[in-house]
């Protein structure tokens, strides 16, 4: 009997330790996402255009996306996405944790890893985030975003894009194509962040769940970047 109880207690200890480690990783990921966003919008001449950030319905950040993590020249990363409340007209709401994967996009700006930012520019692109999986360039139109603080999206390549994407590696900044990549909600990370099971609709569309403390820096970074 004692051995059974001891075994049960050991399982609880291991489970508790694993949960604590996951919570730490999620908190770190949100902090890194905020830092990556700050760096991507700081550039005086090569930052994300101000008007695009202000017009974006949702913003996703994938810090330190890895090259070759899938074993065949692919890429993989984890981050967070937040959408504006009131159908894209209000402040940014509580984030949903996400994962990114797909075939190689070349890492044209160099480096083994990059920080990625995706701007969701239309209501349809926002609604796509409510699915179990979306394919960029397939389910939604996605393209490399224009670069420059005062650049405009009104060009043939970006005018009809639903998602604009950017990358930064080793100080180099560029628009980048993520065509063929897939985005999924990170269900386990969301449960760790909010202390219960939540789906993307509750977080990104309903906007009624309060921003957790671990996500405050990320939401503040989004608010500041889109207001400048």
Residue 189, in any domain of the structure: yes
Q: Round to whole Å and give the CA distance between 224 and 146.
A: 20
Residue 10, in any domain of the structure: no
Structure confidence at residue 8 as a pLDDT band (50, 70, 90): very low
Question: Domain containing 65: what range?
Answer: 29-227
Domain count, the chain: 1
Dump pLDDT digits (tens) for 31-65. Answer: 999 998 888 777 655 678 878 888 899 999 999 88
Instruction: Please state, for a pLDDT cut of 90, what percent of the chain lies above it.
Output: 37
Token representation of residue 64: 């330190």
Chain-wide mean pLDDT for the chain? 79
Residue 12, in any domain of the structure: no
Q: Read off the pLDDT of each residue in 138-155 and give the average, rounded to a whole number.
A: 72
Residue 195, in any domain of the structure: yes
Residue 22, in any domain of the structure: no
Residue 111, in any domain of the structure: yes
Token representation of residue 228: 């400048």
Residue 1, in any domain of the structure: no
Q: Read off the pLDDT of each residue in 123-133 and give the average, rounded to a whole number.
A: 91
Three-state helix/strand/coil letters over the chain: CHHHHHHHHHHHHHHHHHHHHHHHHHHHHHHHHHHHHHHHHHCCCCCCCHHHHHHCCEEEEEEEEEECCCCCCCEEEEEEEEEEHHHHCCCECCCEEEEEEECCCCCCCCCCEEEEEEEECCHHHHHHCCCCCEEECCCECEEECCCCCCCCCCCCCCCCCCEEEEEEECCEEEECCCCCCEEEECHHHHHHHHCCCCCHHHHHHHCCCCCCHHHHHHHHHHHHHHHC
Q: Round to whole Å and give the CA distance between 12 and 210.
A: 29
Dump pLDDT digits (tens) for 189-222. Answer: 999 999 999 988 899 988 889 999 999 999 999 9
Structure confidence at residue 5 as a pLDDT band (50, 70, 90): very low
Residue 3, in any domain of the structure: no
């Amino acid at each position: 009997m004692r051995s059974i109880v001891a075994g049960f207690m050991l399982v609880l200890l291991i489970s508790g330790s694993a949960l604590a480690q996951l919570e730490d990783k999620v908190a770190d990921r949100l902090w890194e996402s905020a830092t990556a966003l700050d760096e991507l919008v700081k550039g005086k001449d090569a930052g994300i255009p101000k008007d695009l950030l202000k017009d974006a319905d949702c913003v996703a950040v994938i810090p330190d996306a890895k090259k070759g993590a899938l074993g065949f020249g692919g890429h993989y990363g984890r981050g967070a996405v937040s959408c504006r409340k009131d159908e894209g007209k209000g402040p940014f709401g509580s984030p949903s944790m996400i994962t990114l994967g797909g075939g190689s996009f070349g890492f044209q700006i160099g480096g083994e890893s990059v920080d990625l930012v995706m701007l969701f520019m239309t209501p349809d692109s926002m609604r796509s985030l409510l699915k179990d999986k979306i394919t960029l360039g397939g389910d939604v139109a996605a393209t490399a975003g224009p670069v420059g603080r005062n650049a405009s999206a009104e060009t043939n390549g970006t005018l009809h894009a639903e998602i604009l994407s950017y990358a930064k590696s080793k100080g180099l900044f560029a628009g980048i194509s993520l065509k063929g990549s897939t985005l999924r909600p990170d269900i386990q990370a969301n449960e760790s962040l909010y202390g219960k099971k939540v789906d993307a609709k509750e977080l990104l569309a309903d906007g009624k769940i309060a921003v957790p403390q671990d996500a405050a820096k990320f939401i503040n970074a989004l608010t500041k970047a889109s207001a400048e």
